[in-house]
Amino acid sequence: MENILKTVLTLSTITGLLSLLLSIANKTIANYGTKKLIINQSKEYLVEGGDSLLSTLNEQNIFIPSACGGKGSCGYCKVKVISGGGPFLSTEKGYVTEKERVDGIRLSCQLKVKQDIEIEIPEELFNVKQLTYLVTGIEDLTSKIKKINFKLPENESLDYKPGQYVQILTPPYEGNEEVYRAYSIATPPSSKHAIELFIGYVPDGICTTYIHKYLKVGDKLSIVGPFGDFYYREGDKDMLMFAIGTGIAPIMSILRYMNENNIERKVTFFFGARTRKDLFLIDELHSLEKTMYEFKLVLVLSRPTPECNWNGEIGRVTDLVSKYILDANNKEAYLCGNPPMIDDLIPLLKDKGFIDENILYDKFE
């Protein structure tokens, strides 16, 4: 017992010394002083050096998309660095292509602001807001997916395009630090003061665990957005939509927008799930078949059970390409789901003659 206590005390002492040394290092070695940040050749900021570019931008209320919360595991927080970014880092290699690297593209969560730095970002990111939403409703759509309704104060609003997403800032809880996680908006842009998100449970997921097990009606959450280049494109092409699970969220935003505005385009939506219990919003989708210009819903189950009493399509949404799509003539595709689904669908659509600019997709990590 005495030896155990000595070991614990020794480890505690070492841990304390390491923490002290890190603290001293942060205040001395990592003290880079005030640096100049120039954005798009027109906006200039004086910032404290030493932190990541992503965090530095956040401190200036400029929010770059980062689905992983700055952990370097999503590759969303890319910016173009004109000068001052320092050497390219090994942690960026898996997310920045060689062509992007040549063009100056970097992961803003990885590079540190150690000198004056000049960058370029899309102008629309200056319109991104961090707002405090009130949770007004929580509903189980399936055993693993919840619909969360959020509302803003009347003097606040969010302008977004149908199909875009926001990031929830999950507060610290049970030893977990705060993190950002991305979720697509399911409501149409006309809903400026209230939004709806579909959030699936991921075991050990920091944000999804908080949402599913701790969040209550009446709570408030900080939400940042809008983000994303996956959104409805104006035009007259026939629209083919593919989604599984919570990938239906941006599709619903687009469909609701089209329905509200009486847009006259042909739309076919292929929605996949494992069993009948995993399907949701089906009544609303069938209602859209009656009210939209020309909308067809095709449901497919990959693992129907006898209890499903299923007489519809069986397989994966990818299996429906050969059956329902003859060619790419006057068509564009909207794909929403996990990476394997998207990666399987794209070559199948290209085999039908689709080109890159007519395939829009949102990979749900």
12-30 confidence digits (pLDDT tens): 445 445 544 554 555 455 6
pTM: 0.85
Identify the residue with better confidence: 71 or 160. 160
Beta bridge partners of 148: 138, 197
Mean pLDDT of 85-99: 92
pLDDT at 79: 95
Q: Find how far residue 78's CA is from the centre of its chain.
A: 14
Lowest mean per-residue pLDDT among 1-5, 118-122, 195-199, 358-362: 1-5
Token representation of residue 356:
């890159």
pLDDT at 73: 81
Beta strands in the chain (DSSP E): 34-39, 43-48, 78-83, 105-107, 117-120, 129-140, 145-151, 165-170, 179-184, 194-200, 220-227, 238-244, 266-273, 294-301, 313-314, 331-337, 359-363
Token representation of residue 244:
């599984």
Identify the residue with better confidence: 132 or 11. 132
Name the helix (H) or strand (E) containing 101: helix 98-102
pLDDT band at 365 (very low <50, low <70, confident <90, very high): low
pLDDT at 276: 95
Mean pLDDT of 182-204: 96
User: What is the C-alpha to C-alpha distance for residues 20 and 194, in angstroms, rounded to an integer?
Assistant: 46
pLDDT at 2: 52
Q: Are 76 and 65 in contact (CB under 8 A)?
A: yes
What are the residue ranges of helices labelled H in 223-300? 248-260, 282-291
For residue 250, whether the previous peptide bond is cis, meaning omega lies within 30 degrees of 0, is no
266-290 confidence digits (pLDDT tens): 999 999 999 999 999 999 999 999 9
pLDDT at residue 239 above 80? Answer: yes
Domains annotated on the chain, with CATH: 34-125 (3.10.20.30), 128-227 (2.40.30.10), 238-363 (3.40.50.80)
C-alpha dihedral, 67 to 161 to 239 to 299, nearest 10°? 60
The bridge status of strand 117-120 relative to strand 78-83 is antiparallel
Q: Are 354 and 331 in contact (CB under 8 A)?
A: yes
Q: Are 114 and 31 in contact (CB under 8 A)?
A: no
Token representation of residue 267:
């739309």
The bridge status of strand 129-140 relative to strand 220-227 is antiparallel
Angle, alpha carbons 110-112-117 (nearest 5°): 120
User: What is the C-alpha to C-alpha distance for residues 148 and 314, in angstroms, rounded to an integer?
Assistant: 30
pLDDT at 355: 96
- For 176, the 3-state DSSP assignment is strand
Angle, alpha carbons 356-271-212 (nearest 5°): 105
pLDDT band at 4 (very low <50, low <70, confident <90, very high): very low
The mean of the pLDDT values for the chain is: 90
User: What is the C-alpha to C-alpha distance for residues 342 and 320, in angstroms, rounded to an integer?
Assistant: 14
Q: Are 246 and 182 in contact (CB under 8 A)?
A: no
pLDDT at 7: 47
The bridge status of strand 145-151 relative to strand 165-170 is unpaired
Beta bridge partners of 120: 80
